[in-house]
Chain A
Amino acid sequence: MKKAMLILMLVALLLPAGALAQDMPHAGVEVVATYMQSGTYDVGAENIEEAFEEATGIELELVASPWAVLNQNHITDLTTGTGEFDVMSGEFWIASVYDKMLPLDDLVARDSFGGDYIPTIWQPGPSGYFDGQRIGIPYSADAYGIVYRTDIFEEAGVSADWETWDDYFAALDKLAMHLDGTDIAPSVFSWGASEQTPAIFLGMYDGYLVDADGNYALDEESALAALNQMASLLDYNPDGAAGLSIDESNAVFLTGNAATMICWVSFMRASAQNPDASLVVDNWAVAPFPGPGFPFLSAWNLFISEYSENPEAAWEWVKYYINPEQSTQRFVELGVGSPYLSTYEDPELMEAYSHDFPGMVANLSRAQSVPWVFEAFEIFFRNTSELVIGSINAEEALANTLAGWADVTVPPALVQSAAAQGQQQDM
């Protein structure tokens, strides 16, 4: 009798454990995930860390690092095969190690993962791909845009429906006349943050970024036209604009001293509607980013390292962190641009962000990522910065860039990304 009781008790004890093992197949497994230390993506992860651990039994360790350190960590970890990180946050900047990422197609198909992504964001380029296989899942989306002062535009009788940069310049000319004698500049941009200048070039440039042989290249005629047009934009900016950082440029707009601003909308959205930080509350909107080029896209992906010892547990975190509900929540709480259409179609949010969403969705739908490794990017933005400050002319900026690029190899993943986004020269 005593023995039977003992067995019964054991079974009673083991049953929930068995059930737990079924519900939590990865209980006790450790997953290390990286994020950029930005107060947004990393905070979004921290906010749901505890709930994730309770739901899955997985021990999650979050590692947040500044942008440059994050990329260094990833490249070093993957090239040395250290395998310290299971889930990695990244963009095309780490494309040189895309071949060390786990293909995710099977996991995506098995779990019917996807949701209502903005179509361009789910494509190669914004989504990490290598050799035709998906390796990255986008969890944020932000595109360069132009924000404008609705009150000033109304007073000046100018509409923000430009399609090309020539249209935008025409609007700036009208604004300049209307604002003559005031402290308000027609436009402002963070020219002093020299790594941002390529965003304007990319919007103005109508050509390829990689040649038919898979090398970094530019269509010289189009590039020269875009560089000259970019430099001429400075004339519409306030005094001292050539030294403005992103925060300083935002401050010019938020204090009412510019009629338009070219910017990452997510960097100013929350402040612009905060009466303590902004003089333009309810008096601004997002306009389409002009062509013939494209709005520069920032789409952070989560990747799983091929050195991960627990890829299934890592995938659990990817699914938990990236879905329409979490993305909408991160947008509302932290201002992180969502890659899901449902965020922008939510009736309540549509009403609250009526000044923001139409332009934002239009820009995201046209936005592209670039096929540049950091070395190529640095060569380009340093030379465009030299052009902006008048140290060299557009011809020299182009010649220096192309000469510098001659020694830089394009990783295969980025040649594929360029081809997928129509940025490669026709064969």
Chain B
Amino acid sequence: MTWHSRHDLPWLLAFVLPAFVIVVAVQFYPLAYSAVLSVQEWSLTESQAPLGFVGLDNFREELGDSTFQRSVRNSIVITGGAVILEMFLGVFLAYLTMGSSWRMRAVRTLLILPMVIAPVAAGTLWRILLNSRAGLVNHLLSAIGVQGPEWLASPDWALVSVIMLDTWQWTPFVLLVAGAAIASIPTDLLEVAAIDGASRWRTFLHVELPLLMPLLLLTLVFRMLESLLSLDSIYSLTFGGPGFSTYTMTFYIYTQGLRNFNFGAAAASSWIFMAFASLSIWLAFRFQRRDW
């Protein structure tokens, strides 16, 4: 069947057009509108309509804003710290829980549970666990003679708390993907390595890891994006505090847009965030192209 004959064109359009219109309306229109907003001065509490074109002023102001700069730094620390930990722990746990016995299946199921908890509930749960006076974490630490820190009252420990929460909740995702990837490695390759006298570590390093790498890098990209976009868990765990200690880019954008109603500034910071996230992903994909 020649689907692109002139006779078929109206049918093709009839099928494609609704989806095309929906995609344009739902995805590209808001994106284009936010681009327009980013060069407008508009605070909803001052005016019902944009107050005029301001060029790149919003971008300049946001980039020069110390709170925004701090939120970028915090995002890098939280995402960097959490994602690296998740990747290592996820792969480690995937190896540790390999096998199809009922015990291993049960352990894997238990390990996956944090992933299905709503992030806002997870944040609240960890807020209770990390309470420096009555929380379980410090209670357990004191049982082994360690005085726990003030998790949510110290700027550094608050950042660590956010990283811990993200790691706890999303390591299971890496575990799932890595587990599936490990299971798909052809056993004959491992047998050849064993016959050649390769140790378990060298087999992992030179046979398994190169095979796992493309999927792990894809997982890394997914986790980076998710972690950068994370808002609800931080909202319920630290609310960006103490002070500005755990203010991330998404928290900053949320505050500018939906609490202060500074739409121009929020749109400009959203575009900066998008550029930042795109650059991170581009770097990850560049890394993926390496011949492992």
Contacts and interface: CB of A to CB of B under 8 A. Distances in A.
Interface of A: 68, 72, 75-76, 79-81, 96-97, 191-192, 194, 238-245, 248, 251-252, 373-375, 378, 382-383, 385-386, 388-389, 391-392, 409, 411
Contacts of A252: 133
A240 B242 contact: no
Given A76-B44, A375-B260, A411-B45, A248 B133 contact: yes
Given A191-B153, A388-B242, A389-B243, A248 B45 contact: no
A79 B44 contact: yes
A252 B132 CA distance: 12
Contacts of A392: 243
A375 to B, nearest CB: 4
Given A239-B133, A243-B152, 7 more contacts: A76-B44, A192-B241, A242-B154, A243-B150, A245-B127, A378-B255, A378-B260
B230 interface: no
Nearest to B154: A389
Contacts of A96: 45-46, 261
B16 interface: no
A216 to B, nearest CB: 14
Contact of A79 (B45, B127, B239, B243): B45
Contacts of B45: 75, 79, 96-97, 373, 411
Interface string B257-274: 011111000000000000
A191 to B, nearest CB: 7
A388 B242 CA distance: 9
Given A68-B259, A72-B258, A240 B244 contact: no
A81 B241 CA distance: 35
Contacts of B143: none
B153 A243 contact: yes
Contacts of A80: 48
Interface string B169-200: 00000000000000000000000000000000
A75 B243 CA distance: 26
Interface of B: 43-46, 48, 67, 127, 131-134, 150-155, 239-245, 255, 258-262
Contact of A385 (B43, B131, B243): B243
A244 B260 CA distance: 26
Contact of B243 (A238, A240, A375, A382): A382
A392 B155 CA distance: 12
Contacts, number: 89
B269 to A, nearest CB: 14
Contacts of A385: 241-243
B73 to A, nearest CB: 14
Given A243-B242, A385-B241, A386-B243, A81 B260 contact: no
Overall SS of chain B's interface = loop
Contacts of A238: 133
A373 B245 CA distance: 23
Contacts of A388: 242
7 contacts: A79-B48, A194-B239, A242-B150, A243-B152, A373-B45, A382-B244, A391-B155
Contacts of B134: 248, 251
A414 B277 CA distance: 39
Contact of B259 (A192, A244, A378, A382): A378
Given A79-B48, A248-B133, A248-B134, A389 B153 contact: yes
B133 A242 contact: no
Contacts of B242: 192, 194, 242-243, 385-386, 388-389
Contacts of A81: 48
A72 B242 CA distance: 24
Contacts of B262: 375
A409 B261 CA distance: 13
A412 to B, nearest CB: 11
A284 B241 CA distance: 32
A321 to B, nearest CB: 27
A251 B151 CA distance: 18
Q: Top 4 A-B pairs ranked by shortest CB distance?
A: A243-B153, A386-B243, A96-B45, A242-B153
Given A243-B151, A389-B154, A391-B155, A194 B243 contact: yes
A240 B153 contact: yes
Nearest to A385: B243
A382 B66 CA distance: 13
B266 to A, nearest CB: 12
A240 B241 contact: no
Nearest to B48: A79
A182 to B, nearest CB: 16
A50 to B, nearest CB: 33
A386 B244 CA distance: 7
A375 B258 CA distance: 11
Contacts of B245: 389, 391
Contacts of B243: 194, 382-383, 385-386, 389, 391-392
A75 B44 contact: yes
A169 to B, nearest CB: 22
A382 B241 contact: yes
Given A192-B242, A391-B155, A243 B258 contact: no
Most buried by A among B45, B155, B245: B45
A190 B67 CA distance: 24
A192 B133 contact: no
Contacts of B261: 75, 96
Nearest to A251: B134
Contact of A192 (B152, B258, B260): B152
Nearest to B66: A400
A162 B243 CA distance: 31
A386 B246 CA distance: 12
Contact of A240 (B43, B133, B155): B133
